[in-house]
Structure 1
Amino acid sequence: MPKVSVIMGVYNTNDEKMLKQAIDSILNQTFEDLEFIIRDDGSTDNTFEIVERLTSEDQRVKLLKNTKNIGLAATLNKCLENAQGKYIARMDADDICSLERIEKQVSFLDNNKEYSLVGSNATLFDGESEIKTRKMPEFPKKESFLFNSPYIHPTIMMDSEVYKILGGYRESKETLRCEDYDLFFRLYTLGYKGYNIQENLFKFREDNNAFKRRKFKYRIDEMKVRHKGFKSLKLYPKAAPYLVKPLIVGILPIKVLKLIKNAK
């Protein structure tokens, strides 16, 4: 059995160059004892065929397909059902890993048994040029959840047994765009700890399309997830001002939001 299972959902991502960059960055890792589980979420274009062609020569790839579109959380849960690794690593189809990412994260979890999750810092890029570094808290604590999620979802690696204890990703309307935030809230509620490697082991795409996907209705859903999480972590009353943050961000024009994010 492989030591690491990398899981990735794809949906209508028929940009071959982008898919190749993402896939190659996993298959060319310095750590080779892995399987790469890619599940197409019922794409209506030729995404599945592109991925099939790009991965056909590597036996470590398991390419699967949903009969209909069911969303990222449910798709990742189906990936987890097929995962055999001791550790589960996330990947997204529009991002790029450092070639040493998996090796460094495995080494960290192997040598720091008190942690169940490890992420990293990331370089933000728009597909062409690098924008800035997103530095994450090295030792996230429950207060780290107040403003934003303290982990960048596609950078994480987690113990597979902990994924099972959590029951995977919560599949609901309100977690449609924040299944990761919800997962991390539940992880910390159960007393588990995580760590962020203070290196840029990932290139995280943040272009205009990424901003356009963040519709206002998803901001309302995020507020609901925040409320549940803040309550479970006993962050009230301190958390009260942070509850409406998604709504404030949701009414800002994309240009203004980009300026704020890039200035951080």
Structure 2
Amino acid sequence: MSITVSVIIPTYNAKNSIKKAIDSVLQQTYQDFEIIIVDDCSKDNTYELLKMIAKIDSRISVYQNKHNSKSAFTRNRAIELSQGQYIMQLDDDDYCDKNRMEKQVRFLEKNRSYDFVGSNALLFDDKGVYGSMEMVEKPDKYDLKKTSAFINPSVMFRKSSLEKIDGYRVSKETVRAQDYDLYLRMYVADMKGYNIQENLVYYYKDMNSFNKSSIQYRYGEAKFRYRNFKKLGLLPQALLYVVKPILASLIPNSILAWKHKKRGITRG
């Protein structure tokens, strides 16, 4: 029996949020799916909790990495284990609007020229929803200069498109920005994505916590920006954006918090 959607959820130390993420999938208006969850060697009891949750619905499959392997490897493993025509992303601390899957499947079935589809998102933290993120509806390569033009946990891919570029790139360069690297490589391969102009996911962003990536990860991002920008014909005009991650490491956390609050609709 064929499956239309494979929902992949990589997880690590998420015992307090993973059930809400899973429940939001089980409550979708579209019900032809499987859920593939890969635990990246959590140190809390996430894996034990997942094994119990898997007993409530035969469509839930739970796996665990042999050792902690980070997000790109974990996502690729979930994709390899999947059977669906479409791959729906969801992170372990986020959750979905009940109509998300139905709307994204409908879009991909009606728009064959697009390889993946994302959406806008509502931002929330431990106090509740406090803002939103509105993404460019039809991003082109120029929209990818500053940062990713897609909210990763909102995206649904054609599995065949992911397979054409061998999925996520497992590298020290992509430990903190594997999704951005993926979208750049897809655009290099003449693929494209679309953002439905609706809030189809609830995206966890603690507006009071801004822990910057280490300079090692920032340098890695600069390297893959340069490589992909060159292939996209964005250089030399986009050289400033190549070094942007390194420059960002010098910005105080207080300013990053202010920019984040300004982008969303902050609570009063």
**Equivalent residue letter for 2:133:** R
Counterparts of 1:95-106 in structure 2 under 5 Å? 95-106=94-105
CA contact (8 A) 1:131 1:262 kept: no
Normalising to structure 1: TM-score of the pair?
0.95
**Equivalent residue letter for 1:200:** N
Counterparts of 1:137-216 in structure 2 under 5 Å? 137-207=136-206, 211-212=210-211, 214-216=213-215
CA contact (8 A) 1:216 1:251 kept: no
RMSD, aligned α-carbons:
1.4
- C-alpha change, 1:209 and 1:260, in structure 2 (3 Å) is closer
Matched with 2:51 is 52
CA contact (8 A) 1:116 1:193 kept: yes
- Any idea what SS the aligned residue of 1:86 has? strand
Matched with 2:5 is 4
* Cα deviation digits, residues 67-88 of structure 1 (max 9, x gap): 1111111111111111111101
Unaligned stretches of 5+ in structure 2?
264-268
Q: Determine the C-alpha separation between the residues in 1 that align with 2:133 and 2:224.
A: 23
- Any idea what SS the aligned residue of 1:50 has? helix
- C-alpha change, 1:209 and 1:86, in structure 2 (3 Å) is farther
Residue 213 of structure 1 deviates from its aligned partner by: 6.2
Q: Determine the C-alpha separation between the residues in 1 that align with 2:55 and 2:221.
A: 38
CA contact (8 A) 1:125 1:132 kept: yes
* Identical counterparts, % of pairs: 42
Q: How many residues align?
A: 262
Normalising to structure 2: TM-score of the pair?
0.94
Matched with 1:136 is 135
Unaligned stretches of 5+ in structure 1?
none
**Equivalent residue letter for 1:9:** P
Counterparts of 1:69-148 in structure 2 under 5 Å? 69-148=68-147
Matched with 1:67 is 66
Q: Determine the C-alpha separation between the residues in 2 that align with 1:88 and 1:232.
A: 26
Matched with 1:21 is 20
Matched with 2:253 is 254
* Cα deviation digits, residues 195-238 of structure 1 (max 9, x gap): 00000101111116863263333222211121112111110122
Q: Determine the C-alpha separation between the residues in 2 that align with 1:185 and 1:163.
A: 12
CA contact (8 A) 2:212 2:249 kept: no
- C-alpha change, 1:223 and 1:209, in structure 2 (3 Å) is farther
Q: Determine the C-alpha separation between the residues in 2 that align with 1:101 and 1:213.
A: 31
Q: Determine the C-alpha separation between the residues in 2 that align with 1:78 and 1:231.
A: 29
Residue 256 of structure 1 deviates from its aligned partner by: 1.7
Q: Determine the C-alpha separation between the residues in 2 that align with 1:219 and 1:79.
A: 26
CA contact (8 A) 2:212 2:253 kept: no
